[in-house]
Structure 1
């Protein structure tokens, strides 16, 4: 497994990061919600742009599925709005400096949930932690036996 995390600044990578990110980058406070820092605010803007793009794509799907000559102008307007939103998303994505592990990008490309990657990494860490704990407990036992202390179980 390649542990390098390439540095992406494309809209697709930002979309992957937004899909994999938990929360919206906002924290509660007495003065209401406020962004934690500019990079999280930028990520929130990109996430909003992605959601707006998905909404436009849904509207386009509806327009195309019920297309008639009378609906040509609204279809063109929605296409122009989609192009403008994609341009906005690209500009916002250029301001994001997010590292997404290739495994996450590959999972998304395969149509899988990026949470699977997080769960697998978490389970791997737990297993390694248990192995390390077993080794340290064994060394403690060796120390107790050498010191004629029989507190080892």
Structure 2
């Protein structure tokens, strides 16, 4: 048997939706015993489709955060959860960027003070600063 893919699970989900639509149509146009066979057949197809969907979807390694499940259970839009999560990550990134810049300024101030008070260490300080700048450039350029 071929491995399950998200596309095959998607197709099976579409089959379930189609079965539900057909059952809805049968119930809406129910005329008694003459339409009962079609309704029973569609209900059997639905159970078969649901079984196939259940079996195939459990084979996929899809992990959803429990928070998003709770969001949906509360009747809320999962897109709002995603947007809020992105906003939290952006704020955190801005905070960490500020800390990084503050440490870089502190490093430069400390280097200036070391050179001012210990002039004999100027060569070592400059080599350390140059090494840090090269590391920063490599990180920024993705090297």
Gaps of 5+ in 1: 1-37
Matched, 1:85 2:58: no
RMSD over aligned Cα, in angstroms?
1.8
Instruction: For 1:94 and 1:136, locate their aligned partners in 2 and report how far apart those are by CA, in whole Å.
Output: 43
Structure 2: how far apart are the matches of 1:82 and 1:118? 32
- Runs of 4+ residues over 3 Å off in structure 1: none
| Structure of higher RCO (CA pairs closer than 8 Å, 6+ residues apart) | 1
Q: TM-score, normalised by structure 1?
A: 0.64
Could you say which residue in structure 2 is the equivalent of 1:108? 72
* 1:144 Cα deviation after fit: 2.2
Task: Give the equivalent residue in structure 2 for 1:58.
Answer: 21
What's the counterpart of residue 42 of structure 1?
5
1:147 to 74, 95, 111: 111
Q: Deviations over 1:75-132 (max 9, x none)?
A: 1111111011011111112322322111111122222232222222221111100000
Higher strand share: 1
Distance in 1 between the 2:100 and 2:88 partners? Answer: 18
Higher alpha-carbon Rg:
2
TM-score, normalised via structure 2 length: 0.68
What is the total number of aligned residue pairs between the two structures? 110
1:117 aligns with 2:64: no
Higher helix share: 2
